[in-house]
């Protein structure tokens, strides 16, 4: 699908309807949608913040099952998973991060919240049946929401407790051995108290096969139970307690290596030509769209554990007490999680090519036959991978937030609050040779903050507000060799002016600043001279328009923004003490993001609704130096250490004893001279989409017997995303079609649904990787002094598999 055509259609439709749009689906009276984007209940159309709100009705009509579906219908929000349901990459308004959830303490710039309480875990297995509304708040929210919400905040609002006893049962069955069962009971316990209890079991059988043992890839299984209790008193006090337990058991994750044999750009020493493999490809990188993996492929042959195994226990307590014209609120949350993840990450299967002698191949010890000069060794059995991950992470975090706010109708409203957060992650690891898990590292975070908001109605039409947060955060890391800590503190402000042009039209402008936490890099970072990395900081301006016309039949939200990000956190490959390669975080430049977001809904009749969203995101690196960029452009050499992060256009190779900017040893003439450059200025920020589009239609057909036949169809599009700052590997664009048709009454429904009906197979995500098949550290001796052989040479990418077309049936009953 041509995105330029889609863009013209969307903008043309917007102009022809006086640019009328809506921030939520399947909701005629948008003015009644209440959101909590500023920690108080406000009408969606009156709040001077860009918010996409997905109501319970929307979630049901569009068959939204997880956060990936939420992103498809939220302009400016892109989502992907790098390692299955264990590493989530939420990207709002172009603020992507490559190492989030992988490297010590590296976090995404978009934060999750549940009922307004910060949630640092993954939400990909969150039970959407218990969610009443999802609020995606875009732009820097550091002032009120706090840590790591400098790009945006995603707030999941859970269902309330019914005034009368109510039972709900849902069952779903679909292709690929998909089952989803849900049951709940909700109702009063006494005149002033109530409870709800729910249970969910979900299974997905996978669609791809491991070529080594025939096992399915991408299997998912989740079980969850939630108990909610609420009580209220006559003196203005209320208390709500949520207790939940979730268990995930996922099989080997669905991804495979797109090998360096396919490399087609940046020729040089770090290519297959200089390794012991069969290829003579002299290119170090791949430029273009990575093709999807075919059925039945994953080059992996074993580990002590493969997949994701997670148990999570949560407690959330919220209390409110009205004191005169003020409200005192306290929120406490506790999370305890144990997660085991494992993968065979060398992406080799069965056969490996060796050099004729052990001296020519440092991996000879993995197979004794290599010592006798064997060229190719067949291994039809599981062996220890060269690079594998098998880790157990024990997470524990707790938080307390206390706020005091005004509760009156005066021209002046205010709020003050304090926030305390503690987090720990103890990791242990194992290998096939040593299957018993042993201590690897301990990562801890402590965050304290004070925040406030003041809003003044200058007139009936004009309001001004100011928000701010003082914060102090310490991150520490310890392993068997090192104990590190680093601290950050600062102030995050936000200023907003909103003007009511009429009762149905709101104009607003805002300026805000935010931050994303820095951290430490551990032993590998210390050895590389990058022991820590600084906070990312953003300055943002936004202009917005919210309008409602024709008694709510045409509604529009449009926003334009500019974000300037400094100290952008990216990834740097370094050698470990064991001779392998890993990545650490580093601040490598500045980024500028300019964007436009549009949401439009029309109600031609009482039984017909149509909607459209569009987002344009121009996320560009405006200044920065990346050492791998120098390796690619120089013909395979490594940049001099003191030139890293220098933003000039000329840099010296690491081996340059003469100081003339020319390597001392270049036997095959690969040095590219003036073309050698570490600059990444002008590159698109990885993991961001320039264009996103969605459209949907909901139609009801009332029948004489009181039943309603319904038909829903939706289409979403997302541009191709770059995997890394070099703008080589691309995911490819994705166009996804869905539809639902069924019959419902007030108490039950029966629905036939289709997801990804066009069987879109472009990869949802890729991660730059090394191709171990071509050898490790086997650069010929003649080049040994010319480049750093401790780093693996040919770069490849492992690609995630997209879930294919799926048909299913869902039934629900309420009584």
CA–CA gap between residue 361 and residue 517 (Å, rounded)? 42
Tens of pLDDT along 250-272? 988 888 888 888 899 999 888 87
Share the mean pLDDT of the chain.
Answer: 82
Could you say which DSSP state residue 568 is in?
A: -
Tens of pLDDT along 514-527? 998 888 888 878 87
Give residue 55's region: left, alpha or beta (phi > 0; psi -120 to 50). Answer: beta
pLDDT of residue 387: 63
pLDDT of residue 35: 77
CA–CA gap between residue 781 and residue 643 (Å, rounded)? 26
Reported confidence tier of residue 19, pLDDT bands at 50, 70, 90: very low
Per-position b or e across 126-146, b if 16+ CB within 10 A of its CB: bbbbbbebbbbbbbbbbbbbb
The H or E element containing residue 230 is strand 220-232
Q: Which of 226-230, 270-274, 430-434 has the highest mean pLDDT?
A: 226-230
Poorest-pLDDT segment among 166-180, 641-655, 793-807: 641-655
pLDDT at 768 over 90: no
Reported confidence tier of residue 305, pLDDT bands at 50, 70, 90: confident
Mean pLDDT of the region 697-726: 93
Of 242, 284, 288, the closest CA to residue 114 belongs to 242
Mean pLDDT of the region 242-251: 94
CA–CA gap between residue 753 and residue 757 (Å, rounded)? 10
pLDDT of residue 28: 45
Per-position b or e across 401-428, b if 16+ CB within 10 A of its CB: bebebbeeeeeebebebebebebebbbb
pLDDT at 502 over 80: yes
- Which residue bears the tokens 């100011």? 466
Mean pLDDT of the region 23-32: 46
Reported confidence tier of residue 218, pLDDT bands at 50, 70, 90: confident
CA–CA gap between residue 283 and residue 265 (Å, rounded)? 5
Poorest-pLDDT segment among 84-88, 589-593, 696-700, 782-786: 782-786
pLDDT of residue 712: 93
Q: Which residues contact 550 (CB under 8 A, 6 or more apart)?
A: none
CA–CA gap between residue 613 and residue 24 (Å, rounded)? 10
Mean pLDDT of the region 154-167: 92
The domain 3-348+385-626+680-814: what is its CATH number? 2.40.170.20
pLDDT at 765 over 50: yes
pLDDT of residue 792: 57
pLDDT at 7 over 70: no
Angle 260-350-582 from CA coordinates, rounded to 5°: 45
3-state secondary structure 422-487: EEEEEEEECCCCCCCCEEEEEEEEEEEEEEEEEEEECCCCEEEEEEEEEEEEEEEEECCCCEEEEE
| Assigned token pair, 275 | 């390794």
Length of the chain, in residues: 815
pLDDT of residue 579: 52
Mean pLDDT of the region 360-374: 36
CA–CA gap between residue 44 and residue 24 (Å, rounded)? 9
pLDDT at 369 over 90: no
Cβ pair 478, 484 in contact under 8 A: yes
- Sign for the pseudo-dihedral over CA of 67, 68, 69, 71: positive
pLDDT of residue 234: 82
CA–CA gap between residue 374 and residue 276 (Å, rounded)? 12
What does the CA dihedral 797, 798, 799, 801 come to, rounded to 10 degrees? 170
0.85 surpassed by pTM: yes
pLDDT of residue 481: 85
Cβ pair 351, 378 in contact under 8 A: yes
Per-position b or e across 40-79, b if 16+ CB within 10 A of its CB: bebebbebbbbbbbbbbebbbbbbbbbbebbbbbbbbbbb
Instruction: Say which residue, 99 or 779, is predicted with more confidence.
Output: 99
Mean pLDDT of the region 553-560: 92
CA–CA gap between residue 90 and residue 71 (Å, rounded)? 9
CA–CA gap between residue 81 and residue 78 (Å, rounded)? 11
Tens of pLDDT along 455-489? 999 999 999 999 999 999 999 999 888 899 999 99
- For strand 376-378 and strand 351-353, is the pairing parallel, antiparallel, or unpaired? antiparallel
pLDDT at 659 over 90: no
Mean pLDDT of the region 686-713: 92
Reported confidence tier of residue 148, pLDDT bands at 50, 70, 90: confident
Mean pLDDT of the region 8-24: 33
Distance from the Cα of residue 110 to its chain's centroid: 8
pLDDT of residue 222: 95
pLDDT of residue 230: 95
pLDDT at 8 over 80: no
% of the chain beyond a pLDDT of 90: 45
3-state secondary structure 470-539: EEEEEEEEECCCCEEEEEEEEEEEEEEEEEEEECCEEEEEEEEEEEECCEECHHHHHHCCCCEECCEEEE
């Amino acid at each position: 699908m041509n995105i330029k055509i889609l863009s013209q259609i969307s903008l043309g439709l917007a102009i022809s309807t006086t640019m009328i749009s809506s921030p939520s689906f399947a909701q005629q009276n948008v003015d009644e949608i209440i959101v909590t984007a500023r920690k108080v209940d406000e009408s969606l159309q009156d709040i001077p913040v860009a918010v996409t709100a997905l109501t319970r009705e929307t979630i049901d009509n569009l068959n939204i099952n997880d956060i990936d579906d939420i992103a498809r219908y939220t302009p400016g929000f892109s989502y992907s998973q790098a390692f299955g349901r264990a590493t989530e990459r939420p990207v709002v308004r172009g603020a992507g991060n490559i190492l989030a959830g992988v490297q010590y303490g590296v976090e995404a710039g978009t934060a999750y919240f549940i009922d307004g309480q910060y949630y640092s875990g993954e939400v990909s297995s969150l039970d959407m049946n218990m969610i009443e509304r999802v609020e995606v708040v875009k732009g820097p929210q550091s002032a009120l929401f706090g840590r790591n919400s400098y790009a945006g905040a995603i707030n999941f609002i859970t269902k309330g407790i019914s005034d009368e006893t109510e039972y709900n049962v849902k069952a779903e069955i679909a292709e690929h051995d998909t089952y989803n069962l849900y049951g709940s009971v909700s109702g009063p316990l006494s005149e002033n108290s109530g409870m709800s209890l729910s249970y969910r079991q979900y299974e997905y059988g996978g669609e791809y096969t491991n070529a080594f043992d025939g096992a399915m890839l991408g299997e998912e299984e989740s079980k969850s139970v939630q108990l909610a209790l609420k009580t209220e008193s006559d003196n203005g006090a209320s208390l709500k307690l949520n207790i939940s337990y979730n268990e995930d058991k996922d099989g080997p994750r669905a991804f495979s290596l797109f090998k360096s044999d396919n490399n087609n750009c940046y020729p040089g020493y770090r290519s297959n030509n200089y390794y012991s493999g069969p290829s003579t490809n002299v290119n170090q990188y791949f430029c273009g769209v990575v093709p999807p993996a075919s059925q039945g492929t994953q080059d992996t042959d074993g580990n002590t554990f493969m997949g994701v195994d997670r148990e999570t226990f949560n407690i959330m307590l919220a209390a409110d007490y009205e004191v005169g014209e003020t409200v005192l609120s306290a929120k406490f949350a506790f999370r305890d999680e144990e997660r085991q993840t494992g993968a065979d990450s060398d992406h080799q299967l069965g056969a490996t090519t060796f050099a004729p002698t052990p001296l020519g191949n440092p991996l000879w010890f993995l197979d004794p036959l290599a010592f006798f000069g064997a060229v190719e060794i067949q291994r039809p059995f599981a062996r220890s991978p060269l690079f594998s991950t098998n880790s157990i992470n024990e997470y524990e975090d707790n938080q307390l937030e206390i706020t005091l706010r005004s509760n009156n109708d005066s021209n002046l409203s205010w709020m003050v609050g304090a926030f305390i957060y503690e987090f720990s992650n103890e990791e242990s690891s194992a290998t096939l040779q040593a299957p018993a898990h042993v201590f690897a590292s301990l990562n801890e975070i402590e965050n304290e903050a004070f925040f406030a908001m003041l809003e003044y109605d200058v007139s009936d039409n004009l309001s001004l507000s100011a928000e701010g947060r003082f914060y102090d955060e310490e991150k520490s890391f310890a392993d068997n060799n090192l104990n590190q800590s680093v601290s950050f503190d600062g102030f995050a402000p936000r200023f907003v002016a909103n003007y009511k042009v009429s009762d149905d039209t709101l104009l607003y402008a805002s300026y805000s600043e935010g931050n994303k936490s820095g951290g430490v890099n551990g032993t590998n970072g210390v050895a590389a001279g990058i022991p820590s990395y600084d906070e990312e900081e953003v300055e943002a301006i936004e202009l917005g328009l919210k309008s409602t016309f024709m008694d709510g039949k045409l509604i529009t939200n449009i926003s334009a923004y500019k974000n300037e990000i400094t100290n952008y956190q990216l990834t740097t490959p370094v050698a470990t003490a064991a001779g392998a390669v890993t990545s650490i975080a580093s601040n490598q430049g500045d980024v500028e993001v300019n964007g436009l977001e549009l949401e439009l809904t029309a109600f031609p009749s009482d039984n017909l609704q149509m909607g459209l969203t569009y987002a344009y995101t121009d996320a560009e690196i405006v200044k920065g130096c990346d050492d791998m960029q120098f390796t690619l452009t120089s013909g395979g050499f490594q940049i001099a250490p003191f030139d890293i992060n220098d933003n000039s256009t000329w840099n010296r190779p690491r081996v340059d004893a003469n100081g003339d900017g020319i390597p001392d040893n270049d036997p095959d003439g690969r040095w590219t001279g003036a073309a050698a450059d570490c600059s990444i200025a002008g590159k698109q920020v990885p993991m961001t989409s320039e264009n996103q589009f969605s459209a949907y239609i909901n139609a009801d057909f009332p029948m004489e017997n009181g039943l309603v036949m319904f038909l829903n169809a939706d289409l979403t599009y997302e541009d191709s995303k770059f995997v890394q700052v070099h703008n080589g590997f691309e995911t490819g664009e994705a166009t996804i079609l869905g539809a639902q048709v069924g019959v419902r009454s007030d108490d039950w429904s029966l629905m036939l649904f289709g997801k990804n009906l066009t069987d879109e197979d472009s990869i949802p995500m890729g991660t730059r990787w090394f191709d171990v098949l071509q050898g490790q550290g086997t650069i010929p001796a003649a080049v040994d002094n010319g480049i750093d052989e401790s780093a693996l040479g040919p770069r490849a990418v492992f690609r995630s598999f997209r879930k294919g077309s799926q048909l299913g049936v869902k039934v629900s009953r309420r009584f």
